[in-house]
Amino acid sequence: MLVAFSVAPSGDGNPDGSVHDAVAAAVTVVRASGLPHRTTSMFTEIEGEWDEVMAVVKGAVDAVQPFGSRVSLVLKADIRPGRTGEIDGKIARLETAIESIRGEQGSGTTISE
């Protein structure tokens, strides 16, 4: 499964609204897991089996807890049994599709809505 999640503290915390220290604590948990992962400016993606991925998400939430009186978790999952390598595979298929569209546009084919 692939999970994209964002975890952040709220309540009593940093008065300037920055959450980078809390996010750093969460990302440290993800990196220590050894599972395939990617962090962007808004989400962290992680790939693995259900129990191991959810254990990492819980660990990330636990790591953020000390930074505020509450923790907010946003999670999106792509559950596709029997598939691995999708953290990169989905991106590779997207890039192939984009190149295909560019090739069609270059050959005089137009795309209409």
Query: Where do the domains of the chain lie?
Result: 2-80
Give the least confident one: 22-31, 59-68, 102-111: 102-111
Convert the pLDDT of each residue in 45-64 to its tens digit.
999 999 999 999 999 999 99
Largest Cα separation within the chain, whole Å, is 58
Q: What distance in Å separates the CA atoms of residue 5 and residue 94, rounded to the nearest whole number? A: 21
| Residue 94 confidence (pLDDT) | 95
| Residue 11 confidence (pLDDT) | 82
Q: Which CATH number applies to 2-80?
A: 3.30.70.930
Residue the block writes with tokens 């190149």: 99
Q: What distance in Å separates the CA atoms of residue 99 and residue 95, rounded to the nearest whole number? A: 6
Would the pTM count as exceeding 0.85?
no
84, 54, 42, 17: CA torsion to nearest 10: -170
